[in-house]
Each structure stands twice: as C-alpha cells, then as structure tokens.
C-alpha cells in the first residue's frame, strides 16, 4: 500500500482525502469526494480512505464498489418499493376471496380480471413476495447494507479517533461555518470555551488549539440501525427452517380430542366447546352500537372462542394404543388471545359448522296423514348406541350407520368418519314384537324397502357441531425479530436526534479562526456558537453555503 505522509507528519492510508490528523486535503485525491469542484470540503466520511473509493482493479473491487454505493442502495430500495406495489394490484394467491367460484389461481385471475388478470398470473405476480426475483432484490439490499456499512465504518472510526485540535488552514477555511476574528483577548477565548462547556461540548486543547466536540456517538447511528436490519433479514432466513419455525393447523370438533400435529404425538387437544357470539343491541352492554348495526343491516360477530384442554401423552407410545393423557393446561382460545403451552401457541383462526352433533327422530304410523308422533329418540352422532327404546315400547335397532353417506357405484357408503350427512338403517320393532321392519332414514331420504312398513320415521330436528380451526405455531425466530427491530429503532434515534458537532478554535496571529461542522442540523450548531460568543466580540461564523446560494440566486434573478 502506498501510504501518504502529510506535512503535519501523520501517515495516512492510501486513498485518504483529508489528512486524518490535521485535515489538510491530500492533493491527488480531491476528485474522490468532489472537493476539487467546490469551495467547501465534503466532510461526509471525514475524508477517510474508503476501500470502495481507492481500489477498482479486480472483479472483487468492482463488486465491492458497486454494492457500497448509496446510489445503488437507493436504487435497490426503489426497485423493492415498486415491485411490492405491483403485488397489490390484484390480491395475492392467499387472499383470493372465499366467494370466488374457482379459487385455483390458474382460473381465478382470468375469470375475475380478464386479460390483465391472466397476464398478472402468468408473470407470477399472484405469488410475488415469495418469487425468486423478489427475494433476490431483498437479499441484494442486505448485501448492499453489509458492504456499504463495512466500507465506511472502519475508516470512519479510525479518522474520528485520530483527529487533532490543530487543523490545517485550508481545512478550516473550507468548512461550511467559518470566520476569522482579528483580535481576541485571552478572557474572550476563555469565555467562548466556557460557553461551549456549558453547552456540553468536550474540550480538547493542544498548544492553544481547541477542539470542542459533542455527540460523536451519533455518527454510529446508521451503522447500528443497519445491523438491526441485517438481524431482521437473517431472522427471516432462519424462519424458513422447520427447526426454528413450525406452522400447522388442526381442526377439532366439539367434544373431540385430537393429537396436535407437528408435536410428534406429544400433545393432544380437546375441544370442550366452541362459541360464536354476535353483538346484540338489545343487550344493554351493546346498546351503544344500535345505530351502527342497524345501518349495516347485517349482524356483527363479537367473539369466536374455543374452550380447550391441552394434554400431554405420558409414557412410551405404543402404536395402535391410546396413550395415557395428562392435562397440561386448560383455557379458552379467542382471537387476540392465543393459548400458550410448552413453546407452542394455538391461535383461533377459523371455524366450520358442517358436522351434525345429534339428530332427533320421531316415529309415526305410515297411514297417519297428520304424522302424529308416537315417541322420539335422540341419537348422539359421535357415539350412537346399538338400540333405543321409545316410551310406548317401540324399539329401534341401528342396523347400519353411515356418518357421511354417499352412494358409491350404487352401494351405500360412508365417505368419511365425520357426521356430515348422517344416514341410518333401522330395524323397527313394534311393541312386544320380535319381528322388525327395515327403514332407511337420512337427510332428505326416507326409504321403505318393502313398501309394507307399518311405521315410519321422521326427522324432528338436529343440532350442528362446530369444528374449530386452530393454528399451531412454534416460533423461535421471534426473539431475533424483536432484537433486530429494537436495534434498528435505537440506531435510528441515536443517529437522528443527536448530531455530531465540532467547533475548531485555532489561534491565528492575534486573533482566532473559528470553524465548525455538524453532520446535520446546522441551525442547532449555529445557536450553540451564538450562545458561546454572546459576551465577546468574536465574530459569528458565516454560513458559506448559504452565502453561495444567495449569490447564485441573485445572479439568476439578474439574468432572468
């Protein structure tokens, strides 16, 4: 490496723009921060030697330089921004509305949105956020963040540690805030320093040269916040591993006990009861919502709730054998009130009302037009008995029970074990008789095989059973997101609400040169200086940038 030795004696690394110690511009490197074209020095990174600005030979250098450019960073952000917007034109795949006739994406988009929908689908925008190219854009932002931060952090830290109170004249005169006072007494100088101390500046003195500095830590804000962002991106990556992130669903019907999927048979859930509540404006508590509910014209749901018991399977698990269950916890799962146990969380996510809980049948004489009931029975569909006896002595024997009845190739079958379309073949025994008639009853079906039956069965009523849909989650990545977000916030606040302010006071003949720099909020530093010089005749610093702009404007208005 070609080190650069400054006239002040300090040896700077290759690529340095402003001497780390005295700030004198290194003649050969002034193009790097554009100092050659402007009156004022660019103080962004203290003129430190950044790798990206120094080497541009190998492919590694070129890649490094590409990603460490803020311009590229902003471009990536803008690309991500536009891409994200595209994904909201039509709903994403997972938000295809329930009422769509066909929810297959290949059909849905064209169906609903015509040709544009078809194109949307074909471009893969229906699942944009998990598309490879979107992920790549996000990953590139991450790469850019890391490289950009390293590129600047290391040399910046070096430069900020190195600085000396005595600065080169060129450095001082080319600061945005600068002025020279011809005659300054010792007392005035002391008053100035005292004023700055009062404003909480840290004072370093060397041979009469003074540096007043405060809030240097705020310079690290952006680096801190970018570390937070990187942690969040890494957490998102971790989330794709099942080890740290588990996501499943389970449907449990009321009264049912079921193994919780993805817990390796360790945990079971029993759904004691499922509750759906609606707002009722006749209830004094909800009366205040009367107008809103009436003007909406539909009912409004108030609560979905599963009263659940969680069990843990004890002892060795033997295939085909019911495990011994021990209660772990018990509670109700509501929206916004998930249930937690042993690292898992259960969320109320949906419900269905398509299973029958029980059915009530009544028996009447076939030739009775009024269908007068001779007696009733209620069958618990989750646990039907073999035989039922009516009050008047008629006995009903269940010959066959189809929980989910369907005719398959002309054969009656139950296509599932869930009572969604229950049907029965009964043997009906008249009182005191051993001879039975056969009757087939289901929803909308009532068949008398021989046509000679004396008794007939009718459906009196039924109750439906809720099935509760719960999401099972175990998410060990959450702490990473929380830490990342917290670090991001700390970094943003650190960098945004404090500013790194420096004021240099160097003696010059009988007077002093006063120059100042801040990384932002120039109003603030000007106020500090005004305060510190108020009882002296030290000249207020001049804002050379504003001066330039004013001249520019005057020139323009003369021409125009």
Which residues here bind other proteins, judged by CB under 8 A?
A: 44, 70-71, 73-74, 77-78, 80-81, 84-85, 87-89, 91-92, 94-95, 112-114, 116, 129, 279, 286-289, 291-293, 295-296, 300-304, 334-338, 345, 347-349, 471, 473, 478, 481, 485, 488-489, 492-493, 496-497, 520-521, 523, 546, 560
Rg (CA), the chain: 40
Burial of 432 (0-12, 13-18, 19+ CB in 10 A): exposed
Residue from 194, 51, 101, 178 nearest 502 by CA = 178
CA–CA dist 22, 43 (Å, integer): 13
Nearer to ligand HEM, 163 or 181 (CB): 163
Shortest approach of other proteins to residue 489 CB, angstroms? 7
Helix (H, G, I), strand (E, B) or coil at 335: coil
Burial of 46 (0-12, 13-18, 19+ CB in 10 A): buried
- Distance in angstroms (rounded) separating the CA atoms of residues 324 and 313: 6
Check residue 137 for interaction with ligand HEM (CB under 6 A).
no
| Beta carbon nearer to ligand HEM, 76 or 538 | 76
Which lies closer to other proteins via its Cβ, residue 1 or residue 523?
Answer: 523
The partner in contact with residue 536, picked from other proteins, ligand HEM, none with C-beta cut-offs of 5 to 8 angstroms by kind, is none
From the list 231, 227, 233, 198, the residue with the least C-alpha distance to 212 is: 198
Task: Kindly tell me the sign of the dihedral angle through the C-alpha atoms of 174, 179, 180, 186.
Answer: negative
Q: Which tokens hold the place of 234?
A: 């890494």
What are the C-alpha distances in Å from 513 to residues 18, 21, 169, 174, 316?
19, 18, 9, 12, 84
Q: Judged by CB under 6 A, which of 191, 325, 492, 493 binds ligand HEM?
A: 492
Q: Does 76 bind ligand HEM (CB under 6 A)?
A: yes
Q: Of 423, 374, 381, nearest to 399 (Cα)?
A: 423
Task: Choose from ligand HEM, other proteins, none: what does 8 bind? Cβ within 5-8 Å by kind.
Answer: none
Closer to other proteins by Cβ: residue 125 or 440? 125
Rounded to the nearest whole angstrom, what is the least distance from the CB of residue 495 to ligand HEM in the complex? Answer: 4
* 419 contacts ligand HEM (rule: CB under 6 A): no
| Of residues 159 and 193, the one with the C-beta less far from ligand HEM | 159
Q: Are 325 and 312 in contact (CB under 8 A)?
A: yes
**Separation CA 551–CA 39 (nearest Å):** 14
267 near 312, Cβ under 8 Å? Answer: yes
Residue 66 or 289 having the CB closest to other proteins: 289
Out of 145, 250, 396, 403, point to the residue binding ligand HEM (CB under 6 A): 145
Rounded CA-CA distance 414/81 in Å is: 52
CB of 406 to ligand HEM, least distance (A): 55
What φ, ψ does residue 30 adopt, rounded to 5°?
-70, -20
Nearer to ligand HEM, 29 or 144 (CB): 144
Instruction: Tell me which stretch binds ligand HEM (CB under 6 A): 4-12, 142-150, 318-326, 468-476.
Output: 142-150
Strand order in the sheet with 257-259: 257-259, 267-278, 301-314, 324-334
- Here's the x/- map for ligand HEM, 214-253, by CB under 6 A: it reads as -------xx--xx--x------------------------
Q: How far is the CB of 41 from ligand HEM (least distance, A)?
A: 15
Contacts of 530 (CB under 8 A, 6+ apart): 540
Shortest gap between Cβ of 239 and other proteins (angstroms)?
A: 10
Interacting residue with ligand HEM among 11, 77, 82, 415 (CB under 6 A): 77
- Give every CB contact of residue 75 below 8 A, 6+ residues apart in sequence: none
According to the binding rule CB under 6 A, does residue 53 interact with ligand HEM? no
Q: Please report, to the nearest 10 degrees, the dihedral formed by the alpha carbons of residues 541, 544, 547, 551 taken in order.
A: 150
Shortest CB 11 distance to ligand HEM, Å: 26
Q: Which of other proteins, ligand HEM, none binds 144 (CB below 5-8 Å, type-dependent)? A: ligand HEM
Report the residue number, 90 or 134, with the smaller CB distance to ligand HEM: 134
The count of chain residues that interact with ligand HEM, using the rule CB under 6 A, is: 17
If phi > 0 it is left, if psi is from -120 to 50 it is alpha, else beta; for residue 46 that is: left
Interaction between residue 484 and ligand HEM (CB under 6 A):
no
**Rounded least distance, CB 549 to ligand HEM, Å:** 21
For ligand HEM, the binding residue among 32, 495, 517, 522 (CB under 6 A) is 495
Q: Tell me 175's DSSP state.
A: S
Task: Say how many C-beta atoms besides its own lie within 10 A of residue 329's C-beta.
Answer: 13
Which residues contribute to the site for ligand HEM (CB under 6 A)? 44, 70, 73, 76-77, 141, 144-145, 148, 221-222, 225-226, 229, 492, 495-496
């Amino acid at each position: 490496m070609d080190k650069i030795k400054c006239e002040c004696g300090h040896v700077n690394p290759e690529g340095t723009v402003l001497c780390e110690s005295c700030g004198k511009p290194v003649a050969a490197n002034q193009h790097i921060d554009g100092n050659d074209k402007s009156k004022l020095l660019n103080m962004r990174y203290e003129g430190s030697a950044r790798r990206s600005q120094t080497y541009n030979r190998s492919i590694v250098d070129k890649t490094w330089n590409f990603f460490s450019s803020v311009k590229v960073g902003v471009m990536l952000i803008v690309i991500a921004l536009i891409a994200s917007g595209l994904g909201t034109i039509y709903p994403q795949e997972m938000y295809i509305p329930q009422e769509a006739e066909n929810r297959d994406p290949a059909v849905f988009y064209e169906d609903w949105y015509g040709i544009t929908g078809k194109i949307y689908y074909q471009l893969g925008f229906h699942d944009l956020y998990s598309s490879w190219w979107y992920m790549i854009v996000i990953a590139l932002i991450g790469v850019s963040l890391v490289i950009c931060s390293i590129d600047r952090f290391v040399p910046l830290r070096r430069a900020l540690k190195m600085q000396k109170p005595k600065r080169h004249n060129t450095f001082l005169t080319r600061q945005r805030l600068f002025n020279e006072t011809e005659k300054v007494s010792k007392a005035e100088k002391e008053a100035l320093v005292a004023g700055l101390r009062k404003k909480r500046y840290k004072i370093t003195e060397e041979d009469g040269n003074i540096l007043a500095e405060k809030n240097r830590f705020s310079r690290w804000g952006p680096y801190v916040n970018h570390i937070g962002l990187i942690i969040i991106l890494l957490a998102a990556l971790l989330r794709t591993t099942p080890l740290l992130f588990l996501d499943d669903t389970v449907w449990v019907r009321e009264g049912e006990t079921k193994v919780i999927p993805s817990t390796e048979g360790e945990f079971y859930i029993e759904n004691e009861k499922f509750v759906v509540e609606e707002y009722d404006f006749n209830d004094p508590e909800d009366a205040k919502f009367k107008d809103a509910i009436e003007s909406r014209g539909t009912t409004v749901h108030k609560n979905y709730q599963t009263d659940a018991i969680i069990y843990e399977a004890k002892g060795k698990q033997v295939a085909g054998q019911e495990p011994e269950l021990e209660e772990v916890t018990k509670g109700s799962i509501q929206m916004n009130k998930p249930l937690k146990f042993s690292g898992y969380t259960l969320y109320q996510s949906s419900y269905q009302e398509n299973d029958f809980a029980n059915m009530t049948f009544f028996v009447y004489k076939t030739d009775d037009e009024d269908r007068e009931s001779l007696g009733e029975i209620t069958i618990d569909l989750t646990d039907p008995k073999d035989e039922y006896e009516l009050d008047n002595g008629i006995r009903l024997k269940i010959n066959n029970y189809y929980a989910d009845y369907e005719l398959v190739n002309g054969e009656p079958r139950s296509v599932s074990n869930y009572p969604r379309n229950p049907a029965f073949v009964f043997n009906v025994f008249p009182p005191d008789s051993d001879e039975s008639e056969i009757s087939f009853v289901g929803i909308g079906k009532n068949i008398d095989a021989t046509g000679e039956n004396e008794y007939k069965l009718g459906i009196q009523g039924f109750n439906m059973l809720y099935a509760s849909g719960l999401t099972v989650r175990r998410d060990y990545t959450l702490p990473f997101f929380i830490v990342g977000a917290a670090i991001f916030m700390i970094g943003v606040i650190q960098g945004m609400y404090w500013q790194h302010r420096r004021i240099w006071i160097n003696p010059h003949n009988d007077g002093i040169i006063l120059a100042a720099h801040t990384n932002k909020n120039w109003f603030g530093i000007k106020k500090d200086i005004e305060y510190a010089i108020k009882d002296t005749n030290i000249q207020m610093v001049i804002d050379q940038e504003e001066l330039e702009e004013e001249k520019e404007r005057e020139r323009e208005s003369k021409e125009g």
